[in-house]
Chain A
Amino acid sequence: MSVQQVLFDAPGPKARRNILLGNILGVALIVALVAYVVFLLGGKGQLAAEKWTPFLEGRTWEFFILPGLLNTLKAAAIAVVTSILFGLIFGMSRLSHFLPLRAVAGVIVEFLRAIPVLLMMIFLWLGFGRVDAIDDPAFVAVVVALTLYNGSVIAELIRSGVQGLPKGQREAGMAIGMTPLQSLRSIEVPQALIAMLPALVSQFVVILKDSALGYIIGYSELLQNARRLGVGEGNLLQALLISALIFIVINFALSSVASRLSTLLTFRTKGKAKTTKQDGVVAMDAAST
């Protein structure tokens, strides 16, 4: 928000007139856009009441939307927990003093971050489909693919969080007789986690959004159920819009928590709390699906 003050002075009479003019044009633009969409939808009969009334009925929610949302949240919640575990293990391995461990963890993390989640998901889905012990290969594939990708991102977050701490934190640990691993575990990683909490929460948004990829492999999550509902009721457009709206509301809430956290947590750690990291790992992954 500081940008606004950077770019222009307090407006004088002429600038105020221009801003007013710009505002009128802007509002006209918005109105024109909304009017165009309404006109387009109305022209195709998409605004007819019977296309929207199914969403007022209990069975729509009971049999389609809520089970879908539940499956989405289930996959996302499990993936959040497993990604954090994966991230902790690989993040600490990348900080290890034992070179082979550091190198292997580095190669795995970089490899997993470079390949598309969807590619991994399709591979796991078809692969798990051949294993008899797995009942629901689509669900397992969604969770494992999300874990491998987001876990690698979290591993990088933890690594850069620890590296962003002042050297004195580690030295203090050494000085009271801790081993490097003890100091990492009980001094550095906890502080890095707090510093990286906002970025971590932003990563949960990515996990939730990426869980929609399960649609492509036939996992019956929110988007899939919305499509089934839409095909059945003949209101595909409306069903997709409603499912998108549900995602937007949840993700927007999570994003707000992330930005609130970054202002709250600055005094809880020696590291710097921030939503975007210097090398932009977070910015990159926020953009992922």
Chain B
Amino acid sequence: MENYLTLFETYDVPAAFWANIQLTFWAAIWATLLGTLLALFRISPIASLQFVGAAYVNIFRNTPLTIIIAFGVLGLFGQLQVSLTDDFNLNFFRLAILGLSLYHAAFVCEAIRSGVNTVPLGQAEAARAIGLSFLPAARLIILPQAFRGAIAPLGNVLIALIKNSTVAAAGSVAIEASSLMKTMIEFRGDLVIPIFLTFALGFVIIVIPVGLLTTWASRKLAVAR
């Protein structure tokens, strides 16, 4: 037991989880913005924008996240010298956020579209009847209800994002949880299972409340019909 406790003196486990939370936080914001825009494209009457939305979703949903994140560091940074900041490590961190955002935007788009499907036909007809055109109808009538109907799938995307933030390890982000776990297991071969359980428990503690919260919110905010 004392042996186990020395782990926390040598390694900063909370800092690793904090890195994952930061990755998740920023990626969630960008993915929501991009995903909402893509969902608007996909439900708009304009064929070319529909095509852009559908093509984006099909490409990014079917590519492994590992490739997208590895592409950020090997392709964008290594080959094209794309740099989001001068700080070497922060650059990798931001490229990982970029990869996570691009990937999860496709799922946010599909979640919002499934939310749009929960809005009854009458709502859109009523909006048209009072003279609203596409954008005002979308902004005032459809999207507010769609977001409330999309809370459960959006919550699932958020949970997946929290777990997927560990894949930043493929993008040379060495401070996040799975990388630290790897280092710790390599140096402390006597405590392989306790180390794994510590990290696993950390994710369980983060993921389960988020799941409960979004389930509660989706019930609480469901549009009563």
Chain A residues with CB under 8 Å of chain B are 2-4, 6-9, 11, 15, 19, 22-23, 26-27, 29-30, 40-41, 44, 46, 111, 114-120, 122-123, 126-127, 130, 205, 208-213, 215-216, 223, 227, 230, 236-237, 240-241, 243-244, 247-248, 251-252, 255, 276, 279-281, 283-289
Contacts and interface: CB of A to CB of B under 8 A. Distances in A.
A16 to B, nearest CB: 10
A146 to B, nearest CB: 12
A123 B128 contact: no
Contact of A244 (B67, B116, B124): B67
Contacts of B43: 3-4, 7
Nearest to B123: A6
Contacts of A241: 75
Given A126-B185, A287-B161, A223 B61 contact: no
B107 A29 contact: no
Is the contact region of chain B dominated by helix, strand, or loop, or is it mixed?
A: helix
Interface of B: 43-49, 51-52, 58-59, 61-68, 70-71, 74-75, 78-81, 104, 107, 110-111, 113-114, 116-117, 119, 121, 124, 128, 133-134, 137-138, 142, 152-153, 155-157, 159-161, 163-164, 166-167, 169-170, 177-178, 181-182, 185-186, 189, 192-193, 196, 199-200, 203-204, 207-208, 215
A210 B64 contact: yes
Given A3-B113, A248-B59, A289 B65 contact: yes
B67 A223 contact: yes
Contact of B169 (A114, A118, A212, A288): A118
A258 B146 CA distance: 25
Nearest to B214: A280
17 contacts: A7-B134, A8-B134, A11-B45, A15-B45, A22-B48, A22-B49, A44-B81, A46-B80, A114-B208, A116-B167, A118-B178, A123-B185, A208-B64, A215-B66, A240-B70, A280-B153, A287-B161
A255 B61 CA distance: 10
A212 B156 contact: no
Given A116-B163, A287-B157, A279 B63 contact: no
A23 B48 contact: yes
B149 to A, nearest CB: 12
Contacts of A6: 116, 119, 121, 124
B156 A280 contact: yes
B156 A283 contact: yes
A237 B68 CA distance: 12
B192 A127 contact: yes
Contacts of A26: 46-49, 51-52
B52 A29 contact: yes
A119 B63 contact: no
Given A7-B124, A7-B138, A7-B142, A30 B182 contact: no
Contacts of B113: 3
B166 A30 contact: no
Contacts of A114: 163, 203-204, 207-208
A99 to B, nearest CB: 22
B178 A116 contact: yes
A247 B62 contact: yes
A85 to B, nearest CB: 23
Nearest to B160: A287
A88 to B, nearest CB: 24
A216 B66 contact: yes
A202 to B, nearest CB: 10
Contacts of B78: 236
Contact of A255 (B47, B62, B196): B62
A211 B64 CA distance: 8
B66 A289 contact: yes
Contacts of A118: 166-167, 169, 178
A118 B180 CA distance: 12
Contacts of A215: 66, 70, 170
Contacts of A127: 185, 192-193, 196
B93 to A, nearest CB: 17
B61 A283 contact: no
Contact of A216 (B61, B170, B189, B207): B170
Contacts of B52: 26, 29-30
Contacts of A236: 74-75, 78-79
Contact of A212 (B49, B64, B134): B64
A118 B169 CA distance: 9
A144 to B, nearest CB: 13
A287 B65 CA distance: 9
